Chains A and B, each alone.
Chain A
């Protein structure tokens, strides 16, 4: 009998461990001044240093060190007063140097934690994820395996290497083992990576795009019978390139391991590859033989010794923790969870906050970003934030609040701005969109409408209020739809002696 996920976690206790690699968004590489642009043509961003040519001397990118310290501080780590780079030696063509410059026993940041909150059967629960280390290394080149049927290494006739990515600063964030998550292990992992991504984004140190590989997660998991106090053999799943995949990969792997154990087989310590389509993992390199990377201190680089002053300067620069910030904003804006989640999922929290800071009325700021602007963005298949600036949105909302624009006119203004017709002011001017609110101008149109339909006017004077619709319609037509209909109604009825019943 095979166990499903529920059965697996009723019998076995999963223990997690997560390694996240994040590419920093520096302009230049870690140890040389080559550009780091994503998607450049192959081997156009390389130099003697990142190609590992003889005699080339690496020099550390100061910005990358600063970003790493910021990450460490945001994850509640201690910053080591002394740390070094080390050579991790291996023969694999993804690094032309035959070693990766990394850190070994002296990482820049150690001993941190991140609290993550998930929904459980008993309501929200917080899990503390302890962070062992945050260290610096460099990314590897990209391989293209040619020949063979599957594009995989097996059966490939040869491989083609692009070293544009080799040497881009990479930060590795390693958790300690995460016990006690029980059946929630996959959700805890996902929540951790999500929160980590949000923190990295708020720090502005990385693009954190999982689909482009600037944020990558390796998920380790092992199982032991519940209550046994043992730690099982772990597998490590790579190629997990979305938040959803983190959860799916672990769910699948827990099920697979449980069924192996049920069948009396042992778990092999190995690297497995996540298959996006099926949600399953397939075996990769076996780690039965302990890897022997012969680490030694990098002789071409001097130690990194950040002083307390520098660390405190960086600490002062830390933005508010994104999770705390969301709770604060949700309270300030007084919105329900559902709307807050919509804003978060649409990545609109920042722009809404900014729009409000620029003076926009909060409810309108949320509705406009989530509604009309998101709708236009969906149509064009782009991010809402790429369509219009927060300053323009705030300007339009201010005009709605002041009564200069109706919602209907404002939609046209937004459309005009999005179509590149200029600022809201330009669009209003060019399209002639301002609400006609000048009473005397409206009165002229009202007088004209009454003169054109004297019988209708007479009926209204006699108390037939619904008849006003015809005259209001005429006024709206005369003003090209730019008058505020409620205002027209009020003025018209008052003019015909029905003022007290306007509302």
Chain B
């Protein structure tokens, strides 16, 4: 696996909306490098006859019936919102996107 660069970390931080100082970027790049190194060892034993695992339980088809249950009230739904208006969540203006 390719090493993770400082630019990669900066890009991911931007996508995740996490503000990081140059020192933090250096630090995180080297930490992630170590984590990837650990994962690499797992990759060495993962052969084609072992299916990748995305879930610890070997379950599938867990469905619920299509039945409506009571929702939160409008007050309850908005109780955790930093700002609200007209029964809706109020968010700052969205810039640079359409």
Interface residues of A (CB under 8 A from B): 26-28, 33-35, 41-48, 51, 53, 59-65, 82, 84, 89, 91-93, 96, 143-147, 152-154, 156-163, 271, 273, 284-285, 292, 294, 297, 299, 301-306
Q: Are B74 and A41 in contact (CB under 8 A)?
A: yes
Show 22 A/B contacts (Cβ-Cβ < 8 Å), sorted by A.
A35-B68, A43-B77, A46-B72, A59-B64, A63-B65, A82-B60, A84-B54, A143-B94, A147-B93, A159-B90, A159-B92, A159-B94, A160-B88, A160-B90, A161-B90, A162-B89, A284-B98, A299-B54, A301-B62, A302-B55, A302-B57, A303-B54
Q: Are A47 and B55 in contact (CB under 8 A)?
A: no
Report the minimum CB–CB distance from B62 to chain A (whole Å).
5
B49 adjacent to chain A (CB < 8 Å): no
Query: What's the Cα separation between A152 and B66 when bound, in Å?
Result: 36
Report the minimum CB–CB distance from B60 to chain A (whole Å).
4
Query: What's the Cα separation between A89 and B62 when bound, in Å?
Result: 24
Q: Are A28 and B62 in contact (CB under 8 A)?
A: no
Tell me the chain B residues, 30-66 only, with Cβ under 8 Å from chain A: 54-55, 57, 59-66
**Chain B residues with CB below 8 A from A284, complex form:** 98
Report the minimum CB–CB distance from A242 to chain B (whole Å).
21
Q: Are A47 and B90 in contact (CB under 8 A)?
A: no
Q: Are B55 and A303 in contact (CB under 8 A)?
A: yes
Query: What's the Cα separation between A84 and B86 when bound, in Å?
Result: 38
**Chain B residues with CB below 8 A from A303, complex form:** 54-55, 60-61
Query: What's the Cα separation between A299 and B55 when bound, in Å?
Result: 6
**Chain A residues with CB below 8 A from B71, complex form:** 34-35, 44-47
Q: Are B97 and A63 in contact (CB under 8 A)?
A: no
* A161 and B94 contact, Cβ closer than 8 Å, known pairs A43-B78, A44-B71: no
Q: Are B74 and A60 in contact (CB under 8 A)?
A: no
Report the minimum CB–CB distance from A157 to chain B (whole Å).
6
> How many A-B residue pairs lie within 8 Å, measured between CB atoms?
139
Number of residues on chain B facing chain A (CB within 8 A): 37
**Chain B residues with CB below 8 A from A301, complex form:** 62
Q: Are A157 and B93 in contact (CB under 8 A)?
A: yes
Q: Are B72 and A305 in contact (CB under 8 A)?
A: no
Query: What's the Cα separation between A297 and B91 when bound, in Å?
Result: 29
Report the minimum CB–CB distance from A236 to chain B (whole Å).
12
Q: Are B89 and A43 in contact (CB under 8 A)?
A: yes
Contact of B97 among A33, A147, A153 (CB under 8 A): A153
Q: Are B94 and A59 in contact (CB under 8 A)?
A: no
Q: Are B15 and A41 in contact (CB under 8 A)?
A: no
Query: What's the Cα separation between A361 and B15 when bound, in Å?
Result: 66
* A28 and B69 contact, Cβ closer than 8 Å, known pairs A158-B92, A294-B15, A303-B60: yes
Chain B residue nearest to A28 in the complex (CB) = B68
Chain B residue nearest to A34 in the complex (CB) = B71
**Chain A residues with CB below 8 A from B69, complex form:** 28, 33-34
Q: Are B63 and A47 in contact (CB under 8 A)?
A: no
Query: What's the Cα separation between A89 and B15 when bound, in Å?
Result: 9
* A33 and B64 contact, Cβ closer than 8 Å, known pairs A53-B80, A299-B55: yes
Q: What 12 additional pairs, Cβ within 8 angstroms, besides A43-B87, A158-B90?
A: A28-B69, A34-B71, A41-B87, A47-B71, A64-B66, A157-B93, A160-B88, A162-B88, A303-B54, A304-B61, A305-B60, A305-B61
Q: Are A92 and B68 in contact (CB under 8 A)?
A: no
**Chain B residues with CB below 8 A from A59, complex form:** 62-64
Query: What's the Cα separation between A91 and B18 when bound, in Å?
Result: 12
* A60 and B62 contact, Cβ closer than 8 Å, known pairs A158-B92, A285-B97: yes
Query: What's the Cα separation between A488 and B69 when bound, in Å?
Result: 65
Q: Are A93 and B88 in contact (CB under 8 A)?
A: no
**Chain B residues with CB below 8 A from A292, complex form:** 11, 15
**Chain B residues with CB below 8 A from A144, complex form:** 86, 88
Report the minimum CB–CB distance from B27 to chain A (whole Å).
21
